[in-house]
Amino acid sequence: MGKKVLDICCYSGGFALNASRGGADDVIGIDSSLPALELAKENIILNKMDPSRISFMREDATAFMKEAASRQESWDLVILDPPKLAPRKKVLQSASGMYRNLNSLAMQITKQGGLLMTCSCSGAMTQSGIFLNILQGAALMAGRKITVLRQAGAACDHPIDPSYPEGAYLTNILLRVL
């Protein structure tokens, strides 16, 4: 495959390990949590994967992406899965700005024609229906054009009870970034 993958807010490395298993040659996972990164490194061993193809670094996501953009670094696939930024509707507006800024930076470091998989685990964001608008704003900020390739929610292991609509909290969008 020969692809370079960057997993921002990688936590225990699930997306990073899957990218490597899928054939990516160079995978970097970024997270600010040392215990999460220790677990991610342990997961490489537990899954009998080649540790030379996956590296994990303790960094602030925003600072890392700003530095990478200033060096004009880019990746074929960027995965952005930040922690819950909008735990309540009350903070949705401020969280929207954080999502827009993070996604704008992620778009800047995605290769021309590359892919950005962006996620939200904030129920307030998912239920508001404004995530795509935020992504369009992020694209304008980044000076990039985006195309939605896939939009998804939770997998079948996260069933949603109709009597509890707040259970619909996961959003996953795959974009082509031009």
Q: What's the whole-number mean pLDDT along residues 56-64?
A: 98
Q: Tens digits of per-residue pLDDT, 18-49?
A: 999 999 999 999 999 999 999 999 999 999 99
**How many residues are present in the chain?**
178
Q: Tens digits of per-residue pLDDT, 121-169?
A: 988 888 888 999 999 999 999 999 999 999 998 888 888 888 887 788 8
For the chain, what percent of residues have pLDDT higher than 90? Answer: 77
pLDDT at 167: 81
For residue 1, pLDDT over 70 is answered with: no
For residue 10, pLDDT over 80 is answered with: yes
Active site residues: 121
**How many secondary structure helices (H) and strands (E) does the chain include?**
6, 7
For residue 102, pLDDT over 80 is answered with: yes
pLDDT at 94: 87
Q: What's the whole-number mean pLDDT along residues 113-119?
A: 98
DSSP 89: G
Q: Cα separation of 53 and 144, whole Å? A: 29
Break the chain into its structural domains and give their ranges.
4-177
Q: Cα separation of 133 and 81, whole Å? A: 18
Task: Indicate the CATH number of 4-177 among 3.40.50.1360, 3.40.1410.10, 3.40.50.150, 3.40.800.10.
Answer: 3.40.50.150
Q: For residue 89, give the amino acid letter.
A: K
Q: What's the whole-number mean pLDDT along residues 108-112?
A: 98
Tokens of residue 50, six digits: 């080649």
Please name which of 166, 174, 8, 28 lies closest in space to residue 83, comparing C-alpha atoms: 8
Q: Tens digits of per-residue pLDDT, 162-175?
A: 888 778 888 999 99
